[in-house]
Amino acid sequence: MINDINRNQFILDYRLSPQEMCEEILNRHRDTVRIQKPKVAVAKLQRIVTAALSIANHEGFHAMTLRALAQKSGLSMGALYAYFDSKETLAMMILGQVHAVVERVFTAPPEATTDPRALLHWLLHSHVLLTDVLQPWFLFVFMEARFFQKEARDYALDSELFTEQRLYDVLVQGAAQGVFDIVDPRMTAALIKPLLQDWYVKAWKYRRRGISVERYAEEITRFVEQSVCRPEGLRQPDAAAGVPVRRRSLRPLRA
């Protein structure tokens, strides 16, 4: 499936290039950025964000000094303050952009993808590809969010819960149609999420083992399918008031 999702087209369709990401940051924070020329502002924002992500993902964002950021980005400390008034504001710029991208990608599946199994494939493969394209951004959110103030933490939590909710919706749809055989779709979605996160949190491990993004996506999809799919001959819609449960003696976990 991931081979069917052209990487360059994916970046183009969802506006994931560094320039487009920073254009959106600029538009969202026009009241903070004091540079009037958009081309200049976007180019400098790219340097700032790239440097901030590099420092944060190696040394920690809260350990990062503005002096270190200025040196890494090639801008003066005075120039930095033309783009943000505090490190917290810079963090919000990055977190807000990740949240916007997550919503944009996962609310727009291909129109032809309506079958629950195909939707699950698309969600898993798109998540792996998205977090591969934007690995430094997602790693930043995962590693740093717990240190931020409430508004910033909420951005990070909302992004995680949004993708988990999309998984839950597809699992419920598939169980209702008899395609999936699961005890608790909410718990199942929550268990799938860390498998997706492992790709960008521990990218070093998979690079060392020579595992490509395509192979990882295929393996996680195979693993999830083996866990949730009902055998072809046993498929039937679940009639329990729209709530999918497996016909077994185990008591369903509470959501």
Tens digit of pLDDT per residue, the chain (255 long)? 555 678 999 999 999 999 999 999 999 999 999 999 999 999 999 999 999 999 999 999 989 999 999 999 999 999 999 999 999 999 999 999 999 999 999 998 877 667 999 999 999 999 999 999 999 999 999 988 777 778 778 878 888 899 999 999 999 999 999 999 999 999 999 999 999 999 999 999 999 999 999 999 999 999 999 999 988 645 555 543 344 444 333 333 343
Question: Angle at the Cα of 192 (from 190 to 194), degrees rounded to 5?
Answer: 85
Residue 255 lies in a domain: no
Its domain, for residue 91, covers: 2-234
Cβ-based burial of 235 (10 A; exposed 0-12, middle 13-18, buried ≥19)? middle
147 falls within a domain: yes
Asked if residue 239 is part of any domain, the answer here is no
Helix (H, G, I), strand (E, B) or coil at 61: coil
Does 92 reside within a domain?
yes
Number of domains making up the chain: 1
| Residue with the two structure tokens 């560094």 | 18
What is the domain-level CATH number for residue 35? 1.10.357.10
CB of 94 within 8 A of CB of 52? yes
Q: Find out whether 35 and 114 touch, Cβ atoms under 8 Å.
A: no
What pLDDT is attached to residue 156?
A: 81
pLDDT for position 153? 81
What pLDDT score was predicted for residue 239? 42
pLDDT of residue 221: 96
Does any domain span residue 48? yes
Cα separation, 120 vs 115, whole angstroms: 9
By C-alpha distance, which of 42, 92, 91 is closest to 69? Answer: 91
Residue closest to 131 by CA, chosen among 194, 79, 177, 85:
194
In a domain, 112, yes or no: yes
CA distance readout (Å), 51 to 66, 90, 160, 183:
11, 12, 24, 45
111/95 Cα distance (integer angstroms): 28
**pTM for the model:** 0.87
Residue 161 lies in a domain: yes
| Angle between helix 185-201 and helix 213-228 axes, rounded to 10 deg | 160
- Among 106, 99, 147, which residue's Cα sits nearest to residue 124? 106
In a domain, 197, yes or no: yes
